Amino acid sequence: MSVAFNELRQKADTEWQGLTAGDKPWIRVGLGTSGEAAGAEEAYDALKEALGTEANVSFVGSMGLCYAEPLIDVQIPGGSRVFYNNLGADEAPGVIAAHLKSGRADPDKALAWDGTERPEGLGAIPRLTELPTVEVQTRLATKLAGDIDPREMGQYIANGGYSALDKALGDMDPASVLDEVKNSGLRGRGGAAFPTGVKWGFLAPNPAPVKYVLCNCEEGDPGAFNDKGILESCPHTLLEGLILAGYATNSSNGVIFIRQGHTLPIENSRKAVQDAYAAGLLGQNILGSDFSYDVEVALTGDSYVAGEETALMEAIEGKRSQPRYRPPFPAAAGLWGKPSNINNVKTLSYAPTIIRDGADAFKSVGIESTSGTAILCITGAVNRPGMYEVPMGSLTIREAVENVAGGIRDGKLMKMFQAGGPLFGPIGEEGFDSPIDFDSIAKTTGSLGSGGIIVGDEDVCAVNLVRNLMSFNQFESCGKCFPCRLGMTHMVETLERISQNEGREDDLELMERMGASMRMGSLCGHGQLGYNPVASALKYFEDDFNSHMHDKKCPTGACGEGQMVTPTRTRP
Amino acid sequence: MSDGQTIASDESPSSDELRERSRKALQAQQQPTVTVLSSLIAVQDELHYIPDEAIEETATHMKSTINDVWSVASFYTNFRFTPPGDHTIDVCWGPSCHLGGAQNVMLRVHSELGVDEEGETADGKLTLRYSTCLGACALAPVIAVDHHMKGRQTPDSAAAVVNGLKGA
> How do the pLDDT tens digits run along chain B, 168 residues long?
334 344 444 568 999 999 999 999 999 999 999 999 999 999 999 999 999 999 999 999 999 999 999 999 999 999 999 999 999 999 999 999 999 999 999 999 999 999 999 999 999 999 999 999 999 999 999 999 999 999 999 999 999 999 999 876
> Could you give the percent of chain B with pLDDT greater than 90?
89
Residues in chain A with CB shorter than 8 Å from the CB of B133 are 220-223
Classified as helix, coil or strand, A162 is coil
Rounded CA gap, A548 and B42, in Å?
A: 48
DSSP A336: G
Domains and CATH numbers, chain A: 16-130 (3.40.30.10), 162-177+198-350 (3.40.50.11540), 373-455 (3.10.20.600), 462-549 (1.20.1440.230)
Residue A564 is predicted with a pLDDT of 61
Residue from A192, A149, A170, A160 nearest A62 by CA: A149
| B83-102 residues touching A, CB cutoff 8 A | 93-100
Return the closest-CA partner of residue A568 out of A503, A499, A501: A499
For residue B37, which residues of chain A lie inside 8 Å, CB to CB? 299-301, 315, 318-319
Listed in sequence order, the residues at least 6 apart from A273 whose beta carbon sits closer than 8 Å to its beta carbon are: A239, A256, A282, A295, A296, A297
3-state secondary structure at position A230: helix
Can you give the length of chain A in residues? 572
Contact of B63 with chain A, judged by CB distance below 8 Å, is answered with no
Asked if B36 is an interface residue toward chain A (Cβ–Cβ < 8 A), one would say yes
CATH value of B87-167 in 3.40.50.300, 3.30.1300.30, 3.40.30.10, 3.30.230.10 = 3.40.30.10
Rounded Cα distance between A188 and A191, Å, is 7
Q: Do A567 and B130 touch (CB under 8 A)?
A: yes
CA distance A523 to chain B (A): 18
pLDDT at B2: 39
pLDDT at A567: 73
B145-156, pLDDT tens digit by residue?
A: 999 999 999 999
Chain B: nearest CA to A172, how far in angstroms? 30
Residues of chain A predicted below pLDDT 70:
561-565, 568, 570-572
Q: Is B165 on the interface with A (CB under 8 A)?
A: no
C-alpha span between A526 and A484 (Å, rounded): 8
What is the bridge-based pairing of β-strands A26-30 and A72-75?
antiparallel
**Are B132 and A475 within 8 A, CB to CB?**
yes
Which residues have a Cβ under 8 Å from the Cβ of A12 and sit 6 or more positions away?
A153, A154, A155, A156, A157, A158
Q: In the prediction, which pLDDT does B4 show?
A: 39
CB A338 within 8 A of CB A247: no
Of A37, A223, A262, the CB nearest to B94: A223
Q: Which residues pair with B131 in a beta bridge?
A: B92
Amino acid occupying residue A377: C
Across the interface, whether the CB atoms of B135 and A422 are under 8 A apart is answered no
The Cα–Cα gap between A130 and A190 comes to 30
Query: Before A328, cis peptide (omega within 30)?
Result: yes
Using CB atoms within 10 Å of the CB of residue A245, give its burial: 0 to 12 exposed, 13 to 18 middle, 19+ buried: buried
H or E element at residue A229? helix A226-233
Q: Among partner residues B36, B76, B95, which is closest to A469 by beta-carbon distance?
A: B95
Residue A38 has its nearest CB partner, among B78, B133, B139, at B139
Chain B hits for A404, Cβ within 8 Å: none
Per-residue pLDDT tens for A143-164?
999 999 999 999 999 999 999 9
Q: What's the rounded Cα separation, in Å, for the pair A526 and A220?
A: 12
Helix (H) or strand (E) holding A253: strand A253-259
Give the number of other CB atoms < 10 A from CB of residue B117. 10
The DSSP secondary structure of A48-75, one letter per residue, reads: HHHHTTSSEEEEE---S-GGG-S-EEEE
What gap in Å lies between CA A281 and CA A293, rounded to an integer? 9
**Using the beta-carbon criterion (under 8 Å), do B74 and A460 form an inter-chain contact?**
no
- Residue type at position A510: L
Full-model pTM: 0.96
